[in-house]
Chain A
């Protein structure tokens, strides 16, 4: 005989031994996976976009007859691409065997580490690498001729000033672009961790 749905519900739950609550520390799996997947995929695309940028710059410089500077810039950007690629690999090696909370924490630390390296590259490595390009570009120009007439101390001061300016612009540019591209995702990651911490206090 057909049972009414009310009876199925009532008797069904009466005979269910226990409706056990999930363990708090290992939840938010799907939410975490999505956030991490988005960060990983965006950072890969972001890094890959360096290649067309390098080719465009090379094209422009070659068109201007500055083939050597073009090659130099391509080498610089390609190096940056491979350095980034290596750093991004680290994100995929974060231990997934732990519970979701530990995984997210480790992932966040790894992201922080990458951002620290990237700031260092932008602030120190980039000006150091770009200054020779400047030198190559202005080598036979009037500006360089005028520069060469200056006192050595003044020359050093100008180069240092230029390097500092480049460094500041590079760091600002890096922070700004990171905020625009990854800001909301990193906030999501942070919020998920905070939510889990709040729940785990129980």
Chain B
């Protein structure tokens, strides 16, 4: 990966990658692996970007695809009960590094959602239009609207208890 590519096309969008990877990982080690994989896939898929959408939309798409695929792989691995090699038996760092308490709680609530719901709400919170979310997720904008309302309700219940 060239330095130019990293500084021009990844660093300015690192926030997007971090926000998404944090939502799909439970510890620092996984987060770093996910982050790295996203960067690598962005580099490898750069030629597939045709400029039909914004680069940031591309970054969202790749970040979500990579996170979802790694999450599924991780689930398969844990199902097979593969114990981790004790290279370092260190205590895993906190999974939620945010300082702001409400943000921390919101992330915890987001992590309780299904994989797809997590992706939709992350895009919504990042102020992506229904159209853009629909394009990224491969769903219809109407469907997205319905889903977002349902997810928001669910999140409020998770954050504040029962919502009527």
Chain A interface residues toward B at CB < 8 A? 2-3, 5-6, 8-9, 11-13, 15-17, 19, 21-22, 24, 26-31, 33-34, 36-38, 40, 96, 103, 195-196, 198-199, 201-202
Contacts and interface: CB of A to CB of B under 8 A. Distances in A.
A5 B40 contact: no
Nearest to B163: A2
Grouping DSSP codes into helix (H, G, I), strand (E, B) and loop, the B interface class, with mixed when no group exceeds half, is helix
Contacts of B85: 33-34, 36-37, 40
Contact of A3 (B14, B17, B19, B102): B102
Contacts of B125: 5-6, 9
A3 B155 CA distance: 12
B102 A8 contact: yes
Contacts of A36: 85, 87
Contacts of B31: 22
21 contacts: A5-B125, A5-B152, A8-B102, A8-B105, A9-B106, A12-B102, A12-B106, A13-B15, A15-B100, A19-B15, A21-B18, A28-B33, A28-B36, A33-B85, A36-B87, A37-B83, A37-B84, A198-B43, A201-B2, A201-B3, A202-B7
Query: Which 4 pairs, one residue from A and one from B, show the smallest C-beta to C-beta distance?
Result: A12-B103, A37-B85, A202-B6, A27-B36
A37 B77 CA distance: 12
A199 B100 contact: no
Most buried by A among B19, B35, B85, B100: B85
A21 B11 contact: yes
A196 B106 CA distance: 33
B19 A195 contact: no
Interface string B25-59: 00001111101100110010000000000000000
B99 A17 contact: yes
Contacts of A3: 102
Contact of B39 (A19, A29, A199): A199
Contact of B160 (A2, A19, A28): A2
A26 B88 CA distance: 13
A40 B82 CA distance: 13
Nearest to A18: B15
B90 to A, nearest CB: 10
A30 B33 contact: yes
A19 B14 contact: yes
B29 to A, nearest CB: 5
Nearest to A2: B160
B36 A12 contact: no
Contacts of A103: 87
